[in-house]
Amino acid sequence: MCIRIATSLQRPLEYILVILLWHRRCVEIRQQCAFVIVTVLVLGTLLGAGSLQPGFVLAETRFIPSVVAAERYDTNIYFATKSQLPPGTRLDDFVTSVGGGAQLLHKSRDLEASLTAGADVNAFVYNTGVNFLTTRTEGYAILDGWVGRLAQGAQLRVDERFRYTPESPGFLTGAQGGGGGDPFLRGIQGFRANTFAGTVSINGSYPVARGLALEGRYTFGLIRVGTAQAVTNTGAVYFNTTINSYTVGPRFDLTPVDSIFLSFQQSLLSQTDSGSGVGVGVQGANANTNAQTLSAKYARVMPDWSFSFGGGVTLIEPASHAFTNGSMTITTNPERLTIVQLDLSRQAAPSFFLQAGALISNVGQVQITHLLSERLSLRGRLSYALNEGVPTTSGVQFTNITVSTGIGYKLTRTIDVGLFYDYTDFKNETPALSYTVLRNVVGFSLTGYWN
């Protein structure tokens, strides 16, 4: 069921703000919640601005609520080896999840926006002491029509992503969209610990001449980690990390479908010991890293598929270490029966577990979704990451292989049922700590939504 709102977004925005303020109880650090609230206010203001402009009679707003119930079996809920846990601790468990959420969609001549918020409660059968609540928001706003009034052909997009969970994933799942990926989801898998992470990015393009535009991007990200749960005597340390990154450069349109983008990027990392290290740790230590990148990227966008390829060089300070970077993406039209997404990248990324500073992060992901019939679909995803500490002689390395598969079946217009299986094999290596974890998760879900 879609609720169409013709004149104002005030009531749905109030509902979303109430939900996110309620999430505040679940976040251990008060100042962290301001990140979510400010983000919602920004997107809410953008949504409201689109709906309050006179003459937007073609504007459409939809509010889509949803509920989900799931049951899964997890062979390792602590993301640790048995020797790292207190005697008698059970690694595997059955987990029941019940949650809900809502999506707010708005589309008008000047603005296209989406904001999704949700939460779920997770209860264990045996490890009842680690029952938990997760919260999440994700949104975007495309303001091409609005900025196009100032300069014909100008583009502007804002993306936001936030999560609070003790089971932070290693990789970003699903389509990344125009806003790009999450710098904290590049294959690093730490111990079970309450984690608050969020990113906001702003992408803009300004036409300078025919076939030439100046593009820029700014990204702000942060991650805050609480106390590692149950793990003892490992010496593991988390680092609270804040990222400020900007990218700027010219884009040359060779043809209507081909372009080349030359860019300079600077990423500033500010890190402090989170105080969650179990055993030894340099409490209060801080680290600041500066990564500068020069690169060139070619892109081709067709109606049925898109392709991009690029590379360059990155310098990391204060380590004075340079390395080559690169990326390649292939994406097919999401309306096809078979959807293929390939993403390969080599870049600098923050290290927030075991060692502070920057990593040389190599990540490859391929995801295939196939629609067998109007009701039945299959999906599969393979993710691989090799993250090396800087300098590479530091002996720090994080390796992660994750395989995810699933089957989805549409029971009715508003109810979906799914079966899923995830396999994870990750290895974390430092001079002081080295261990390997194998994890299997299998389960089913039931989702109801009113669209």
pLDDT tens column, 378-430: 999 999 999 999 887 788 999 999 999 999 999 999 999 999 999 999 999 99
Domain boundaries, the chain: 10-449
Per DSSP, the three-state class of 61 is strand
pLDDT-derived band of residue 235, with 50, 70 and 90 as boundaries?
confident
Residue type for position 105 = L
Per DSSP, the three-state class of 431 is coil
Cβ(227)–Cβ(238) below 8 Å: no
Owner of token pair 């349109």: 253
Mean pLDDT is highest, among 53-62, 234-243, 286-295, 381-390, for 381-390
Q: Which has the closest alpha carbon to 239: 250, 251, 228?
A: 228
* pLDDT surpassing 80 at residue 37: no
> Residue 288: what pLDDT?
86
CA dist 218 and 75 (Å) reads 40
Residue type for position 200 = V
Owner of token pair 């593009």: 215
* pLDDT surpassing 70 at residue 16: no
Mean pLDDT over 333-341 rounds to: 86
CA dist 151 and 156 (Å) reads 11
- Average model confidence (pLDDT) across the chain: 84
Mean pLDDT over 367-379 rounds to: 94
> Residue 59: what pLDDT?
59
Owner of token pair 């919602």: 40
User: How distant, in Å, are the alpha carbons of 190, 236, 394 from that of 283?
Assistant: 18, 12, 20
The interaxial angle of helices 10-23 and 30-52, nearest 10 deg, is 170
Per DSSP, the three-state class of 87 is coil
Residue, of 346 and 273, whose pLDDT is higher: 346
Residue, of 250 and 180, whose pLDDT is higher: 250
